[in-house]
Amino acid sequence: MFFKSWQDFEKLRNHKKILIIYGAGVSGKHFLNVNKVIPNYFVDKKFAEIKDVFSENKKHKIPCISPRQMENLLGKRTADIIVANSDVNVLKMLLTYFKKIDSKKDTIAYFYHKFDVNAGSGYSESYKKILINGKFAFGGEKDYNFFDNPFNFLTAPDYLFKEVKKNAFHNTNFLTKEKIIATAKRRNIRMIFKDNRIRTVDTIQYNTIQYNTTIYLIGACYFANYFSQDKFRLESILINMLNKGKKKFNIEHIKIFGFHEWLHLFNLLNTPLKKNSIVIVNSITKPELLLMAKNYCDKYNCRFIAYMRVYTRERKNPSYYEKLCVKKCTIPEYKDKNRPRLRKELLEELNFMDIEAYEPPKVFFESKKTLALDASGHHLGDYGNEIIAKHLYDIITEKIIFKKDYKKDVEIAMLAISALIPEIHIYLAKLKREKSKFNNCGAIVMNCNPFTFGHLHLIEYSAKQVEFLYVFVVEEDKSQFPFKDRFSLVKKNTEHLRNIRLLPSGRFIISNTTFNEYFSKAELTKNEQKPDVSLDLTIFAAAIAPALNIKTRFVGEEPLDPVTKHYNEQMKVILPKYGCELVEIKRKENSGAVISASRVRKLLEQKKFKELKKLVPKETFEYLISILRR
């Protein structure tokens, strides 16, 4: 017989062999019902009481046989055996037992993935310091420091344990080390499979009510709460808060032991998510892995949230016990003073990648309670659970709104613009002299060829929406009316507005440099061409808008001109990438048709002055009449 890890099951499973699950308890049934691994037999010492094991949907009835019957079976046929148990003492016994069985040589027994089947004792090296059956396996280190252990408060002297119990947990009169250990043992972790793939561990569901939205918690200790009573667990607190409202939620916690980022990602990528769900990840910190996770969630239209973990030493008001943990712990990672800076940089990077990410709230850092149970800060007591659950509730219900910081996007775009157009900096320096004192500023770019009641409506409406409005008049002299006259008409017709400033567009807004095709629209329309306007709009959004605190660009709807309509559509795509909002305004109409400069020019050409007078202000009409008299 060969001995392998659960993780080898997928690649080594042979469907010609009989499949046996050794253990018909919770773990064994997990393989059957959650992972759909259908065995030929279950084996259990209590076979006489169990008799048969049924799947939840009653489609499968699997006989449960005794270990003796299994021995007889293995003498005749090869088999794959999944040992559905993670208790180290049981695993040691079973390993010895299986070695004595006279079985076919190709039979394979798959043991708990952390159990060292080669050594035949204890867990593998990286898992020697974990809680097992209420005891600790420390690997026999002579210089063992219990402050380095993630569960150190359970091995601490009584006076320290009492301090932790008093400041970290509710119902302290009833809490003992034995009860806390029993709680942790009940939540011990079991690797399970889905469609022959490692998928998840210990999925917890709250589905006693009809729910609208599923929340997936992807992470280990932060969300697992091994030591809190059920009602004080993060999941319990969160679900109770959420389901007080009309909208009902369901929580599924997908976890493994420890912070193995690739394995957490693997679990998520092999979970068929419910559409329009919320996925909160805590155990992945590498940006490239988080991006893979977000892309997977996007396929299911799920909201993706990265929630940062912090170390105990980062707390501003740590309790006596927490101070002691940090002081006595010898693990360098937990004492790293650069963690706040690195996390800030990570948050900035995730923001740039459009990944919604948060760190714990201010109260978490400032609370004087014992929130963390060790130096890592990954294991929380009841009070820590309450703070994180409340914060997650505010995030989920959007009481806390994720604010995209566009500084990095603007910075990178500016590098590209500067390389392409070095003189942009001279233009921006001059432009900044026109900057207003207001933060909520808007902008309009218009050609005004000539100025109409439609332009006036757009300016007046926009000026009411913001504290200050910049009106850029296209400076390029390629229109029917010269820039000097167009600018003058805009100025005369807007003198009554106190919160606007007129500016020439210069070389970098709808110009020969950025959008030369604008001045040959007839040819583009004839050939059904759509010009590339990305340079023009990127310069505006990433260079001009930040220089003048422009948060919104206003534009009139364009039902007639296909080139301008395409320009407007591209604004909807490009401007938001750099934090600039686009507001499209319904065009002013006259006699059932929109007022447009092209309509005015046509009426002028036809000398229909009576109709023309209805479309333009007095100053524009007088200007147009004067043009004809020249």
Q: Which residues of 450-473 are buried (b: 16+ CB within 10 A; e: fewer)?
A: bbbbbbbbbbebbbeebebbbbbb
pLDDT at residue 146 in the model: 58
Non-local (6+) Cβ contacts of 6 within 8 A are 82, 110, 111, 112, 113, 191, 193, 198
Query: For 125-146, what is the mean pLDDT?
Result: 39
Q: Output the pLDDT for position 388.
A: 94
What are the pLDDT digits (tens) for 219-261? 877 887 777 888 888 988 998 999 888 888 888 887 765 567 8
Q: Looking at domain 409-629, what is its CATH homologous superfamily?
A: HUPs (3.40.50.620)
Tell me the average pLDDT of the chain: 83
Structure-block tokens of residue 321: 């016990």
- Give the integer Cα–Cα distance in Å for 130 and 258: 10
Q: List pLDDT tens digits, range 425-481.
A: 999 999 999 999 998 999 999 999 999 999 999 999 999 999 999 999 999 998 999
Question: What is the C-alpha to C-alpha distance for residues 417 and 546, in angstroms, rounded to an integer?
Answer: 14
**Picking from 128-142, 560-574, 578-592, which range would have the lowest pLDDT averaged per residue?**
128-142
Confidence of residue 192 (pLDDT cuts 50, 70, 90): very low
Confidence band (pLDDT; 50, 70, 90) for 149?
A: low
CATH code for the part of the protein at 2-127:
3.40.50
CA angle 270–276–281, rounded 5-degree value: 50
Same fold: 2-127 with 197-396:
yes
Does 157 score more than 70 pLDDT?
yes
- Cβ pair 32, 53 in contact under 8 A: yes
Measured CA to CA, the distance from residue 181 to residue 172 in angstroms comes to: 15
Quick one: which of 296, 234, 243 has its CA closest to 270? 296
Q: How far is CA 529 from the centre of its chain?
A: 38
State residue 223 phi and psi, 5-degree precision. -95, -15
Higher model confidence: residue 242 or residue 195? 242
Q: Quick check: 477 and 483 in contact, CB under 8 A?
A: yes
Checking 200-204 for CB contacts under 8 A at 24+ apart, the result is 200/34, 200/254, 200/255, 200/256, 200/267, 200/270, 200/271, 201/254, 201/255, 201/256, 201/257, 201/267, 202/253, 202/255, 203/34, 203/252, 203/253, 203/254, 204/235, 204/251, 204/252, 204/253
Average of per-residue pLDDT across 171-186: 66
CA distance 200 to 352: 30
Give pLDDT tens digits for 287-312.
Answer: 999 999 999 999 999 999 999 988 88
Rounded CA-CA distance 491/503 in Å is 10
CATH 3.40.50.1110 for domain 197-396: yes
CA distances from 488 to 61, 443, 609 (A): 88, 18, 22
pLDDT in tens, 33-59: 766 788 999 999 889 888 888 887 788
Classify 35 as helix, strand or coil: coil
Q: Report H helices in 7-138.
A: 9-12, 26-33, 47-50, 67-74, 88-100
- Quick count: other Cβ atoms within 10 Å of Cβ 278? 21
Domain residue ranges in the chain: 2-127, 197-396, 409-629
* Longest alpha-carbon distance in the chain: 114
Provide the pLDDT for residue 310: 86
